[in-house]
């Protein structure tokens, strides 16, 4: 699974780790995150993230 990077602050969403503080289980693909999900560091929308291949 690819990681996804916030272009504004550099936060990396790693599907293997999930997002514990936001109750997102490890193994949750980025595409399955809720549409309203945003960067936990700077608030950038999910749409702004890009895949880090």
For the entire predicted model, the pTM comes to 0.89
* Residue corresponding to tokens 């690819």: 2
What is the rounded CA–CA span in Å between residue 53 and residue 38?
A: 20
Answer for the pair 53, 44: CB distance below 8 angstroms, yes or no: no
Going from the C-alpha of 22 to that of each of 19, 53, the distances in angstroms are 5, 24
> Does the structural domain 1-53 have CATH classification 3.40.50.20?
no
Which residues fall within 8 angstroms of residue 40, CB to CB, at 6 or more apart? Answer: 11, 19, 21, 22
Predicted confidence band at 1 (pLDDT cuts at 50, 70, 90)? confident
Q: pLDDT tens for residues 15-53? A: 999 998 889 999 999 999 999 999 999 999 999 999 997
């Amino acid at each position: 699974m690819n990681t996804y990077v916030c272009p504004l602050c550099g936060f990396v969403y790693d599907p293997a780790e999930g997002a514990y503080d936001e109750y997102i289980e490890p193994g949750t693909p980025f595409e399955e995150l809720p549409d309203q999900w945003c960067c936990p560091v700077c608030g950038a929308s999910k749409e702004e993230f890009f895949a880090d291949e």
